[in-house]
Chains A and B, each alone.
Chain A
Amino acid sequence: MRIKEHPILELAEKPPIPFYFNGKLLYGIEGDTIASALHANGIKKLSESIHLKRPRGFYCAIGNCASCNMVVDGEPNVRTCITPLKEGMRVENQQGKGRIHAK
């Protein structure tokens, strides 16, 4: 779902960034956030509501609403819409409030 042609934006080819989503290997590109890379791969559901387990995607995309919280490299409640994608990241759908593990 990446935009191919645009009258104003310059969309240069960018190097791919491999990462894992629920254990599966996917690719984003340089400049992506975690959420933008997932969306480009057609993945809209990022988390579940705490009580009713309803699917949640992003809403604001600027770090205001926490709708995009996911578990990243074991850490819960990462706002994926403003977190830059890095090579090898392990991104998972978050269930409930998430658990904090001692490091």
Chain B
Amino acid sequence: MQNKEAIVIGGGPAGLTAALELLKAGASVCLIDRNERLGGQLTKQTHMFFGSEKQYASHRGIDILEILTNSLGKYGNKLEILTETTVVGMYRDKVLSCVSGDKFFKLQGEKIIFATGASEKALPFENNDLPGVYAAGAVQTLMNEYGIKPGEKVLMVGSGNIGLIVSYQLMQAGVEVVALVEAADRIGGYLVHASKIKRLGVDILTNTSVKRAIGKDSVEAAEIWELDEQWQGIEGSERTLEVDTICVAVGLAPLTELLQQMGVNVKYVNELGGNVPILDEQYQTSVEGVYACGDLANIEEASSAMVEGRIVGINAARSLGRSVENADFRIKALRHELKDLRGGPPGDKVRKGLKKLGVAT
């Protein structure tokens, strides 16, 4: 078994910034990601980012990724990158088991940083397992990473930012978005995104959901229906839409399974997406030397994931005995940035969730 100074699991925005801070402080880092390419969710984000200037707002996700990976390039042999490597097991003594192709091996880290992100939630409806029912992120991956259309006619389910943005991206790829349904009585995401797709002629139907998918080997149509105030379907309001794809954008859930395997304390907080690790001031979990950041800690945005990653990187470097220039000042400034990012009505949910978790915001 190999011993490492710091292991970062997950190469999305949170993991990349954590690794950068550790490297900057002189620590050696082993960065693991199950994908062929680093970047996590950023690899498929072709749209301009909102958020703060410092966290690259007005850049496209794919460009931010390039900036981050270029900076990693400077650290040569202090950085070991293991791509196409999945962490499959996690033990209390900070040993992790990994699978890469047909190889299985174990690593131990003095500090372990978890930045595994989240997985998309599914939605219960009849035939929701038919090919052609895809998570929004999958549709995005297919289009923006591989240049492939998921289908020709899509029903989008969910009007959060992801549903709105992916609808727009589908249209950019030349796919027809037949309708967007939303169970709540109002649009969930930012109105700028909603107006953009409305202008392009997409019907956004609130108080409406999918009743069932229709098809034999794959989706051939979707039946939608209106919902009453209790979110129950109204008999007789059904309509059939001719679509070959149903795109499900109903939120994400943090990937905390590995943390739970090693006995980290988690708590279910609906506002943060599900089971999230309980963290201290340093972003350390209940197991000493194990940290968590990004979507794994709470479902938010790449901008906040990058700030959290930096905070964790600095904290972990310091507890390794590495000296970090201006550490206290920088942490304070980063915390301030998080506060800014979470300010205003769009941050209500996260603030409420963090409060339940006992985190000061």
Contacts and interface: CB of A to CB of B under 8 A. Distances in A.
Interface of A: 1-9, 11, 31-33, 36, 39-40, 44-46, 49, 54-65, 81-82, 84
B173 A6 contact: yes
A60 B33 CA distance: 16
A65 B149 CA distance: 21
Contacts of B119: 60, 62, 64-65
A58 B217 contact: no
A44 B132 contact: yes
B131 A44 contact: yes
Question: Which are the 8 A-B pairs with shortest beta-carbon distances?
Answer: A57-B131, A61-B138, A44-B131, A36-B146, A64-B119, A61-B141, A44-B218, A1-B149
B229 interface: no
B6 interface: no
Contacts of B141: 61-62, 81
Give the dominant DSSP class at B's interface: loop
Contacts of B357: none
Contacts of A60: 119-120, 135, 137-138
Give the dominant DSSP class at A's interface: loop
B34 A63 contact: yes
A49 B131 CA distance: 12
B322 interface: no
Interface in B99-132: 119-120, 122, 129-132
A61 B129 contact: no
B147 interface: yes
Nearest to B138: A61
Nearest to B218: A44
A36 to B, nearest CB: 4
Contacts of B36: 82, 84
B134 interface: yes
Contacts of B84: 82, 84
Nearest to A11: B147
